[in-house]
Structure 1
């Protein structure tokens, strides 16, 4: 195993065990325990697709009804404390990964710039 492979495995392990990643995974598990939320998301997407279809075929009343139903489900999901918590923890984990990726990119560019 090369030094790069060892360093990559170590970094992956550290990221997997970082508190923000663990918190995100726990929030994701909590959401998965509520199938009704998943069903709401599926139904909302179906209404959104129907809205677009009805607009394309100039069925304005049907489009409005589908859009209204999608909006109601969207509001329900957005006001759910579990969904809000999940989104925040997902953002925290994403910020960590973006930071690490940017640092790696900067370091690689620095090394390449120095001719190493």
Structure 2
């Protein structure tokens, strides 16, 4: 079953989108920078440095917008949604069969 799922066209497209995304290391560098700014913003807010919080939070949001506009990121998340839907469906089917089996054993 796993092999059959991995051979589905949209799963293959997702894998390709993931490979393309991983090949573009500058996106991961931006993501790392954004996460660092977000951590700093939380710290600044906790210690009451509101101006520093606003500046770092704004910088993190700016990077996030830049990442979301990247075509590779957009393609990846579009494909991810399709694969996630498949995972939810398969999980539901397995859960249903397990529950039915448990009910039969009672």
Query: Which portions of structure 1, spanning 4 or more consecutive aligned residues, are displaced by more than 6 angstroms?
Result: none
**2:100 paired residue number:** 110
Name stretches of at least 5 consecutive residues in structure 2 with no aligned partner: none
Distance in 2 between the 1:75 and 1:58 partners? 26
- Distance apart, 1:79 and its partner CA: 1.2
- 1:23 pairs with 2:13: yes
Partner of residue 82 from structure 1, selected from 51, 72, 85:
72
Distance in 2 between the 1:19 and 1:100 partners? 17
Q: CA RMSD in A?
A: 1.4
Structure-1-length-normalised TM-score: 0.85
Structure-2-length-normalised TM-score: 0.92
- 1:91 pairs with 2:81: yes
- Distance apart, 1:115 and its partner CA: 3.5
Instruction: Look at both structures and tell me which one has the larger radius of gyration over its CA atoms.
Output: 1
Name stretches of at least 5 consecutive residues in structure 1 with no aligned partner: 1-10
**2:48 paired residue number:** 58
Q: Number of aligned pairs?
A: 106
Give CA deviations for 1:35-90 in whole Å, capped at 9, x if unaligned.
Answer: 11111100000000000001111111111110110010011011112111100101
